[in-house]
Structure 1
Amino acid sequence: MKKLSFFIILVLVAFTSKAQEHFRPPAYPLITVDPYFSIWSFNDTLNDASTVHWTGKENSLQGIIRVDGQSYYFLGKPITSYKTVLPLVEKTGQWKYTFSKPDNNWDQLHFNDASWKQGAGAFSTDNDAPNKWMTHDIWVRRTFRLNNMDFNDLMLNLHHDDNVAVYINGVLAYKADGWNNSPELFKISDAAKAALKEGENVLAIHCENTAGGAYLDAGLVDEIKPEMNIAKATQTSVSISATQTFYHFTCGGVELQLTFTDPLLANDLDIFSRPADYVTFKIHSADGKAHQVQLYFSAAGNIAVNTPDQQVQWQRSKAGNMNVMRVGTVSQNILGRKGDNVRIDWGYLYMAIPQSKETSTLITSSEKSVKDFVDNGKLASNDDKDIPRAAEDNPVTLAAVYDLGKISSTPVSHHIILAYNQIDCIEYFHQKLKPWWARKGMGVDQMLTGAERDYSSVVKKCNQFDNTLYHQTLAAGGEEYAKMCELAYRQAFAACKLAAGPEGNPLLFTKECFSNGDISTVDVIFPSCPITLVYNPVLLKALLDPIFYYCESGRWTKPNAPHDLGTFPIANGRKNEETMPIEETGNMLIMAAAITRAEGNASFAKKHWKVLSTWADYLLKYGMDPGDQLCTDDFAGPSAHNANLSIKAILGIASYGSMADMLGEKSLTKEYTDTAREMAKQWIMMDEDGNHFKLAFDKPGTWSQKYNLVWDKVLQLHIFPKTVAQKAIANYLTKQNEYGLPLDSRKTYTKADWIMWTATLADNEKDFRALIAPEYKYIGETPSRVPISDWYETTNAKQVGFQARSVVGGFFMKTLDKNWNGH
């Protein structure tokens, strides 16, 4: 039986590999648990660069295989180590500064700044800022001494908000428009490096605050050159399934299969929420000879910090039959940091390794553990005692080595568990919520031993699920569609966090990744929802329940639905939020109707009937011809008479009618359904423009994707005549660019999720595939090597904004339509 199971797994892996042939994802998911524990490879070859967080910051995993004494990198690269030359000022260092434009030579070393102000700390508009900065411009100076000029690669460590120009001894070192929200390293111009000298130097900066908050701090660091030069294993293939990423390598006469398994099994919330992923190594001889083999794997402390200058500490323990190592920040400011381009700096990263005679573990600097392994094929016996220290200072890693002895043609397999315990994961109306897996008091040791106990069964379930998803999406939309869905699956769920609500119910929170960091944004949940409706509608209820609570608790008092609940991971509501009244109200009604359709009863609607009724009446009053306001495509700015937004309002009203029907409220059903149909007739009269439909009722000669119309088809509401979708699709087929259908006639950019919804409107397979083929080409050819960006240019496939967002769950709209309606 075991041999048969192993054969099935190999077949499934081979099948997936074949399906992935010639498909190049823009980024490869490795560890995808939630918005914080999310590690990717932004390269086609796994050992060409360091692994990174979805934001692009280094989250280092390293893998080295040693064959007959020769070492080969197969995962990541040496962790970059830095020496601080000039530390960030932060709260204590000194700046000289002025808010008035100085003389032209203000950036020179010998400029007389005696009249300038002096203060300790970075500059910011924050209430607790060490140095308050409330003007448009600021000029700052800081002198420093260099005792030698022996640098490998001197870099600028800079946190700026907004536009900045940096000078060293009067020479421009770096200039940029825009902002960042944490310190980043930037290259210094060669001319500025040449201007440095032994003795006294000056760092001078001009920064402009063009809008919003402001921040400025800067220092210098030197990148330390790695001491060792290690060869690379040859990567022979990489493939992706819904929950797994597979790599194959050859090196020194052996073959290595490396598998990252992310058990995001939506129909089992205990496994789905468990913050533990598996890394599996399978090795065999490829040339018929026996080879002496050792294998090294490590995870770095920079996975547990927001910025690499944060102090980390580490320790080891036992959990069942496993050796367990962990690392985390000293500060442990739980839920203390919110925002978009941020990483977690509370809780602990864990690496758990089943005990065996072949295995050894060590917590020490990356440089030391790698050198020990390369030189001797093993690790030193004692953990590093230089604790705590900054994550970037002689970077610490959790390392494991397997001494596999002689490897023949019979495969040898081992696995490691990587996990992250956030302790508390969401602040929900001023209550700290536990992750779903910890709702009954389960501790991290139990979680890890459970993950180890379930390893074989979970991997089997993942293989089975991956096979099911592939064939399901293949049947719905064809090969290219299936490949895009496989890639989208983990990204969609890894942009969310599943928590235990105050009443013990599951609550799922989205993060707007690289889109301002909002939590539980209704117009992000809306495009994401098809994946939940296909694989577990409980997750859609878990997404909507926080919004309903916000409204039904009296915290939100407007007659329209709210936009979001705050900034991830803080969901306390907002005083002054972005409003999209028609957008969010229509979204909530449509999604509530989708839940009743999925469950086959109206219990969810009944529970929230009062607020649903308020929203339906709001759309009756304001939805037919929307006033000047934002919709979900807010990057395009507000607009009036938006035809697609009007469709959403009409279908929101019809959705209310369909829920009333399931509740047995026949008079309401007739009233709202008939009204929606009359509005649809009016809509056609107002928006028809020859052979197409307009972007806005008052703008002839324009057009836009009417992606909201898809819900009329999927929910079988029968509000608009089929000829509306047919005419729209016929027009869209003439408007496509090389990489997709533009969002509308104003610009050439588009949204990947909306293309999928628009394509699902097609009433035949040929047109559906014609509409998604350019998007498939975009994903495979984009030069923007990041987790799928849903906002991109159709002319050159470049990212415009957004990445790693849950909205790619909208790719499953075609599958949802197929499941529900057989289309």
Structure 2
Amino acid sequence: MRSQIFCAALYAVQALAAPSWTSTPFNPPSIPLAVRSPYLNTWLPQGGGNALNDEWPTLWQGSVTGWVGFAKVDGTSYSFLGSASVDGVSFTKATQKSFTFTTTQSIFVLSAGPVDITVTFLSPVETDLVKLSIPFSYMDVSVASTDGATHSVQIYSDISGEWSSGALEWDLEWTTTTTNVVSHALTLVNPAQWEEVNDHIQYGAVYYSALNGKGVTYQTGRDVVVRAQFLNNGTLTNAKDTFFRAISYSWPVFAISKDLGKVGTSPASFLYTIGNVRDPAIKYILAGGATQSRSLYFWSKFSSIPQLVSFFLNDYSNALKTANALDQKVEADANKISPDYAGIVALSIRQSLAANELTISKNAQGGWNTSDVLYFMKEISSDGNINTVDVMFPAFPVFLYLLPELGQYLMEPLYRYQVSGQYPNKWAVHDMGPHFPKATGHNDGQDEAMPVEESGNMLIMALSYARATNDHSQITRYANLLDQWTQFLIEDSLIPANQLSTDDFAGQLANQTNLAIKGITGIRCMGEIWGLLGNKDKQANYTSIAASYVQQWLNFSASTTGPHLTLSYGDSASWGLAYNLFGDVHLKLNLFPKSVYDEQTAWYKTVANKYGVPLDTRHTYTKSDWEIWTSAIVTDTTLRDLFITGVKDYVSNGLNNAPFGDWYDTITGVAEGFKARPVVGGHLALLVV
């Protein structure tokens, strides 16, 4: 019978009891398990608190990715992962004692009779481009005695075909290889290249693997049969089910077990890896309308998936060492602001990076061209666009902090496309294509129109990267395109026409005060760019224009009924978060007078709600990325900490159970719908100021 269910109501808001275990630094709404790409993106939903063995892991959007873990201790069976039941076979749920998350790891400790089981999910955050691009994650299962005696322990885990498709009726096939590695490979019988169903990619393969050796057994087959085999016997049969079928037909699962032997107080462990690989990965438009199939960067080093899997398994100690070092660095840096901020940042980094894929092309001789690197971002959960500029922009601090070159690689596809002449508008394009993984452009010019928003974003990011790296090659190549966008901003940013900003869910609005800040900042950034490129005349011209616009903007944006900036010119009762001032602060442009910052600081103190300051006067909702950006521009550390605490209290209040949603209500603390989006990379804003 079906032992896994689709959690249709998974993300319903409910107030649950606080968890019985300790959570460090806090209990988030959803816990990252295997989170390394848009399609390897599995979480444990929390709400008020679900143990690792209380719920099914799910893809970020809520569909089950069946993942199970059992242990036998002196003949007694315990579950430690997933929510399986097995007809006719009883087992006990291990008791969760603690949960800890860091920048790279989610660590659970569960008690199973006389032993503790520590389950560590490591999704590496790498600066080595080969390792960064590998869409694999680790699960390490470690067991140690708690009573001083030794105990016979066997470990088991399986995955289901649900990892392979968003349509459970699709037919699945699989292979199992047993060399130095035991590896199950799951593929669709009829894959659909470039296509998604329910945000699952519909081609490529899922790999579940472990190192082979003494005590390792495996099995494929119907879920209840395979799991009963282990629960009854503590071992698997090495049988390979050859009846390929639909994912939901007799639910085939893919299991690996390990007999750890006699385990004492010194931990014994077993390592699993999970990966989702497709090739090619991205379809990218070239000049003249041709398209290019691009592959993940790791192919420049590995010639086959078995080679990659073997390397990844054997590299765990290095990956863990690198992860621990990054965890410590992030915690130390963020704790200089506050412990609340450190928790927010640690929860944000994996989520933000997992929306991206690093790609290369082949040269004319068929070899890999590692000098042609393009980075692609999925606009997860909102509309699936690829390289959406106003999603890249709030995420940009995470790249500046970890590896600024990633920002260059992220902007490059947009630059190349627009200099090809295929995009007809004079402002910056909104995105590289309607849906990931197809970066096919908008030759009709009918992308979502955010002309001031995206043009300002590109100019600010261009200067941010050049300043962070002292690498002027990209701004040199695309100086004319950047200047074209600046000319548009000169026309339309001081008094913005009726249009959308990045907060498009709030609708169009004319004369937006905050949008004008972005446009004016973009003009000034172009002045700085020309300065870096040695054109002092153009630098002086754009600097002068931006300065004159600021003086006019001060008059347009002032309220006559209160000491604050308006949301839109002439609406004195309106106000909003002036988060676009962050570019001025971050880049030290000194474009806007200190009086503006002081005035906004005083005002925000008067309008804060329980979970922060609303985005603007139209609604009580806000955005967590803009809350943190605003915290970086206020002139009072008490208010800075109020913004931070509001976000931390929201993300730990037990009322939500989807991956970190950046859009939420400041009164109720309930998420508005976004989840797992890369914009949480913007939470690192305070680390790059």
After TM superposition, the score normalised by the length of structure 1 is 0.77
Match in the other structure for 1:328: 187
Asked if 2 retains the 8 angstrom alpha-carbon contact of 1:347 and 1:420, the reply is yes
- What per-residue deviation string (whole Å, max 9, x for no partner) do you get for residues 639-667 of structure 1? 10000000000000010011111112111
- 2:151 equivalent among 283, 291, 297: 291
Structure 1 counterpart of 2:42? 39
Q: For 1:190-231, what per-residue CA distance to the aligned partner results, in whole angstroms no more than 9, with x for missing partners?
A: xxxxxxxxxxxxxxxxxxxxxxxxxxxxxxxxxxx8544432
Gaps of 5+ in 1: 1-17, 80-224, 818-823
User: Alpha-carbon deviations, 1:712-745, whole Å to 9, x = none?
Assistant: 0110111101111121121112111111111001
1:236 counterpart (97, 107, 119):
97
- Specify the code of the residue in structure 1 equivalent to 2:333: Q
How does 1:293-692 map onto structure 2 within 5 Å?
Answer: 293-318=153-178, 321-335=180-194, 337-338=195-196, 341-386=198-243, 388-429=244-285, 430-439=291-300, 442-475=303-336, 477-501=337-361, 504=370, 505-566=372-433, 567-574=435-442, 575=444, 576-689=446-559, 690-692=562-564
1:506: Cα distance to partner? 2.0
- Which residues of 2 match residues 186-335 of structure 1 at below 5 A? 226-265=87-126, 267-318=127-178, 321-335=180-194
Q: Which residue of 1 aligns with 2:84?
A: 78
Q: 1:546: Cα distance to partner? A: 0.8
CA contact (8 A) 2:25 2:343 kept: no
Q: 1:226 to 1:748 in 2, by over 3 A?
A: farther
In the TM superposition, structure 1's runs of 4+ consecutive aligned residues that sit over 6 Å from their partners are none
Say whether the 8 Å CA contact 1:310–1:329 is kept in structure 2: yes
Letter in 2 for 1:260: F
CA distance in 2, matches of 1:782, 1:583: 34
C-alpha displacement at 1:565, in angstroms?
1.3
In 2, the alpha carbon distance for the partners of 1:492 and 1:357 equals 39
Residues 339-393 of structure 1: per-residue CA shift (max 9 Å, x gap): 7x4212211111221111111111222211110111111112311121x211111
Name the structure 2 match of 1:783. 655
Contact 2:72 2:78 in 1 (8 A): yes
Q: Distance in 1 between matches of 2:471 and 2:83?
A: 54
Q: Which residue of 1 aligns with 2:664?
A: 792
Q: 1:474 Cα deviation (Å)?
A: 1.3
1:767 Cα deviation from its structure 2 partner: 2.1
User: For the residues of structure 1 that align with 2:158 and 2:264, how far apart are their CA atoms?
Assistant: 25
For each residue in 1:757-796, what CA deviation from the matched residue of structure 2 results, as whole angstroms up to 9, or x when unmatched? 0110023432211221111100001522000111111111
Using CA pairs below 8 Å that are at least 6 residues apart, which structure has the higher relative contact order?
2
For residue 116 of structure 1, what is the aligned residue in structure 2? none
In the alignment of these two chains, the number of paired residues is: 649
Measured in 1, the distance between the counterparts of 2:541 and 2:178 equals 65
Q: How does 1:41-56 map to 2 (within 5 A)?
A: 41-43=44-46, 44-56=50-62
- Contact persistence 1:264–1:273 (CA under 8 A): no
Distance apart, 1:318 and its partner CA: 4.2
- The separation in 2 between residues aligned to 1:669 and 1:226, in whole angstroms, is 74
- CA displacement at 1:447 relative to structure 2: 1.0
Q: Which residue of 1 aligns with 2:27?
A: 24
Deviation at 1:292, TM superposition (A): 1.3
Provide the C-alpha distance between the structure 2 equivalents of 1:466 and 1:754, rounded to a whole number of angstroms. 24
Aligned-partner SS, 1:328: strand
- Paired residue secondary structure (2:571): coil
Any conservation in 1 of the 2:104–2:124 contact (CA below 8 Å)?
yes
User: Separation in 2 of the partners of 1:654 and 1:380?
Assistant: 68
Asked if the contact 2:513/2:567 (under 8 Å) is kept, the reply is yes
SS at match of 2:156: strand
Partners of 1:19 and 1:491 lie apart in 2 by 23
**643-652 vs 349-358, which moves further:** 349-358
Larger Rg: 1
Q: Secondary structure at the match of 1:434?
A: strand
Tell me how far 1:334 sits from its aligned partner. Answer: 2.0
- Aligned-pair CA distance for 1:628: 0.5
Q: Tell me if structure 2 keeps the 8 A contact 1:688–1:694.
A: yes
- In 1, the alpha carbon distance for the partners of 2:506 and 2:657 equals 24
Q: 5+ unaligned residues in a row in structure 2: which ranges?
A: 1-20, 286-290, 363-368
Contact 2:611 2:666 in 1 (8 A): yes
Using the alignment, how far apart are the partners of 2:302 and 2:210 within structure 1? 24
Change (3 A) 1:229 1:273: same
CA deviation string 1:119-141 (max 9, x = no partner): xxxxxxxxxxxxxxxxxxxxxxx
Q: Which range moved further: 374-383 or 526-535?
A: 374-383
Distance 2:210 2:25 in 1: 35
Pick aligned residue for 1:742 from 583, 596, 614: 614
CA contact (8 A) 2:612 2:642 kept: no
Q: Distance in 2 between matches of 1:470 and 1:244?
A: 13
Instruction: Spell out, residue by residue over 1:218-251, the C-alpha distance to the aligned partner (whole angstroms, 9 max, x if none).
Output: xxxxxxx854443200000111111111000111
Aligned to 1:167: none
| Counterpart among 50, 53, 65 of residue 59 in structure 1 | 65
* CA distance in 2: counterparts of 1:62 and 1:399, whole angstroms: 9
- Deviation of residue 20 (structure 1)? 5.6
Q: Give the CA deviation at 1:634.
A: 0.5
Aligned-partner Cα distance in 1 for 2:156–2:438: 38
Matched residue, 2:682: 810
TM-score when scaled to structure 2? 0.92
Q: 1:358 to 1:338 in 2, by over 3 A?
A: closer
Paired with 1:520 and 1:460, the residues of 2 have a C-alpha distance of 32
Contact 1:782 1:797 in 2 (8 A): no
Distance 1:629 1:19 in 2: 47
What pairs with 1:704-723 in structure 2 (closer than 5 Å)?
Answer: 704-723=576-595
1:807/1:786 Cα in 2 relative to 1: closer, same or farther (>3 Å)?
Answer: same
Residue identity opposite 1:348 in structure 2: A
Identical amino acids, percent of aligned pairs: 32
Spell out, residue by residue over 1:607-661, the C-alpha distance to the aligned partner (whole angstroms, 9 max, x if none).
Answer: 1101001011110111100010111011011010000000000000010011111
Moved more, 787-796 or 432-441: 432-441
SS at match of 1:323: strand
Once residues 60 and 237 of structure 1 are traced to their aligned partners in structure 2, the CA distance between those partners, rounded to angstroms, is 23
Contact 1:49 1:76 in 2 (8 A): yes
How far, CA to CA, are the matches of 1:601 and 1:346 in structure 2? 38
Deviation per CA, 1:21-52: give whole Å up to 9, x if none: 36110100000111111111003311111111
Q: SS where residue 597 of structure 1 aligns?
A: helix
- In structure 2, the partner of 1:730 is 602
3-state DSSP of counterpart to 1:263: coil
**In structure 2, the residue corresponding to 1:485 is in which secondary structure?**
helix
Partner Cα separation in structure 1 for residue 74 and residue 276 of structure 2? 35
Q: Secondary structure at the match of 2:672?
A: strand
Q: Would the aligned equivalents of 2:260 and 2:269 in 1 still touch at CA under 8 Å?
A: no
